[in-house]
Amino acid sequence: MEAEALLTWKASLHNQSQAVLSSWTGGSPCDWTGIYCNEAGSVINISLSNSRLKGGYGIVYKAVLPTGQVIAIKKLHQSQDGMTSNLKAFRSEIRALSDVRHRNIVKLYGFCSHPKNSFLVYEYVERGSLKMILSKDEKAMELDWKKRLNIVKGIANALCYMHCDCSPPIVHRDISSNNVLLDLEYEAHVSDFGTARLLMPDSSNWTSFAGTLGYVAPVTDITFTASSQPSFVAS
């Protein structure tokens, strides 16, 4: 892989309808929103706050663009040799979210792919993960039954869209409270598509075990083998 940084914006941060594709090498700017990347793959001209969460294959930062817009940046972990690790999950997330448009699925604005420093740029979802809210009694008490039902409906709507309206269909494979984000209105946004798979025609789609124990189908939880039972499809 050449030492080039590639930034692909799938949605305009200025409400433009056309997708923007730009690339740069050796630190030359790719900028219509004030974002730059140098030859080491580092992002500059963005204000990163101390607010960050550690995920399965990266650290998520709250960031502010020069325009004042708040976004989320997931920076992938580096391996011991200094190279970006978890590239498979990185590419899976890009493939799954590139053309997805649904109110209950987190929006991917763009990405930077670099041998030593890769990151994904998302919309910022204000309240964070459902798991984080449920883990704190004071915040959990704010989730009355009406809000909880709305969260479940939002997740179900996202799954229905991925399974039935996307072509090819998308299977998330790791729906859990840690991967459901809530906005200010407690609307659910499904996130973290690192283990997602596209169900391609004429493919057996055999894969290794994926998911979070406690959330996967019970037979998979016990045997670590796939299940074809319809009752487990939505999980």
Q: How confident is the model at residue 81 (pLDDT cuts 50, 70, 90)?
A: low
* Confidence (pLDDT) at 62: 84
State the DSSP string of 158-200: HHHIIIIISSS-EE-S--SGGGEEE-TT--EEE---TT-EE--
* Residue whose C-alpha is closest to residue 166's, from 230, 233, 106, 100: 100
3-state secondary structure 57-86: CEEEEEEECCCCCEEEEEEECECCCCCECC
pTM higher than the cut 0.75: no
Distance between CA atoms of residues 151 and 182, nearest Å? 8
Question: What DSSP character marks residue 33?
Answer: S
Is pLDDT larger for residue 231 or for residue 147?
147
Does domain 131-232 match CATH 1.10.510.10? yes
Q: Which CATH number fits domain 5-123: 3.40.30.10, 3.30.200.20, 3.40.50.2300, 3.40.50.720?
A: 3.30.200.20
Angle (CA) 137-104-186 rounded to 5° is 30
Q: How confident is the model at residue 210 (pLDDT cuts 50, 70, 90)?
A: low
Least confident window among 11-20, 66-75, 122-131: 11-20
Q: Where do the CATH 3.30.200.20 domains begin and end in the chain?
A: 5-123
For residue range 139-165, list pLDDT tens digits in order. Answer: 999 999 999 999 999 999 999 999 999
Please identify every residue annotated as catalytic: 174
Q: Where do the CATH 1.10.510.10 domains begin and end in the chain?
A: 131-232
